Amino acid sequence: MSGSGVPLLAYLLVSGAMFLIGLLGVMIRRNPLMVLLAVELMLNGANVTLVGFSRFWDTTDGQTFALVVMVVAAAEVVIGLGLVVAVYRQRLRLNIDEMTRLRG
């Protein structure tokens, strides 16, 4: 491998760490926003791997891939946000309904 600069193993360990932390985040966090963040972390972990390997093999494929992934990740998060917003709206309405019903 190209000796200069950061060794590949470092890339891989960091990315693996990011991926696992994200995974645990998904499993442990309860707030959906946090879960979305964790997912983002996982995707970016994979991105780091891609970039690292892309440097290792010196081709640009990996970086292109990473770029695409960024977009995808953003899209996913946005959808997630939208759904969360919708859910909260729903909850608010629901709460009010519940109370009126319970009072009546």
Partner 1 sequence: MELSAYLPILVFFALGLAVGGAILTLSKIVRPKHTLVKDLPYESGILGGTPARQRFSIDFYLTAMLFIVFDIELAFLYPVALTLRDDGLLGLVVLIVFVFTIVEALVYIWKKKALEWR
Partner 2 sequence: MLSVLPWIVLALPLVACIVLMLWPTEPDRRITRVIAVGSVAAAFALVIAIFVDLLGRDAEERTEVTTLWEWAAVGDLEINLALQVDQLSTFMMLIITGVGSLIIFYSMEYMEEDRDYRRYFAEMTFFVFSMLLLVLAANYLFLIVGWAFVGLASYLLIGYYYDRPSAVAASKKAFVVNVIGDVGMVLAAFLLIRDLGTLEYTEVFATAEGGLGDGSTSAEAVGFLLFVGAAAKSAQIPLHTWLPDAMEGPTPVSALIHAATMVTAGVYMVARSNALYELAPYAAGTIAVVGAITLFMAATIATVQDDIKRVLAWSTVSQIGYMMVAAGLGLYGAAMFHMMTHAFFKACLFLSAGIVIHAMLGEQSLDRMGNLRGRLRAAFVGMLVGALAISGIPPFSGFFSKDEILAYALAQGTLGVIVGIVGILGAGLTAFYMFRLVFRAFYGPDPDGGYNPEPHVTTWVMAAPVLILAFLATFAGWIQVPQGWKLVDDWLDPVVGTPDLKPSLGLEAATSLVSVALCVVAIGVAWWLFGHGSERRLAHAKTLARYREVLHQGYYFDWAFEKFLIEPGRQVGAFLRDFMEPAAIQGSIRSTVVATLETARGLSFLQAGLVRLYVFTMIAGLAIVGVIFILVGT
Partner 3 sequence: MTHLNVVAATPQIIVAAAGVLAMSMGLFNRYEIRRYGPSAISLAGIVAAFVMIVLLWGDREEAFGGGIRSDRFSLLLSAIFLVSAALVIGLAWRESAAVDRRGEFAGLVMVAVAGMMLVASAGDLIVLFLGIETLSVALYVLCALEVWRERSLESGLKYLITGAVGSSILLYGFALLFGATGTVDLAEIGEQLGGTSFAGEPLVIAAMALIVVGLGFKASAVPFHMWTPDVYEGAPTSITAFMSTATKAAALAAFLRIFQGVLPDLAGDWRVAIAVLAVASIVVGNVAALAQDSLKRMLAYSSIAHAGYLLIGVAAGSVQGAEAVIYYLIVYLAMTMTAFAVVIIREREVENGEMLEAFAGYARARPVLGVAATLAMLSLAGFPPLAGFIGKFLLFSAAVEANMTWLAIVGALGSVVSLGYYLRILGVMWLGTPADGERPARLLAVPAPVMMATGTAAIAIIGLALFADPMIDISRGAAEALLAP
- For every residue of 61-72, DSSP letters joined together read HHHHHHHHHHHH
Give the footprint of partner 3 on this chain (CB under 8 A): 12, 15, 19, 22-23, 26, 32, 35-36, 39, 42-43, 45-47, 49-50, 52-54, 56-57, 59, 61-62, 64-65, 68-69, 72, 75-76, 79-80, 82-84, 86-87, 90, 94
* Residue 2 region by backbone torsions, left for phi larger than 0, else alpha for psi between -120 and 50, else beta: beta
CA trace torsion 77, 81, 84, 86 (10° rounding): -130
Q: Least distance in Å: CB of 46 to partner 1?
A: 13
Neighbours of 18 (CB within 10 A): 20
One of 30, 58, 60, 71 touching partner 2 (CB under 8 A)? 30
Residue of 6, 10, 78, 96 interacting with partner 1 (CB under 8 A): 78
Among 2, 6, 10, 20, binds partner 1 (CB under 8 A): 20
Which H/E stretch holds residue 4?
Answer: none
User: Smallest distance, Å, CB 99 to partner 3?
Assistant: 17
Do residues 78 and 84 lie in contact, with contact meaning Cβ atoms separated by under 8 Å?
no
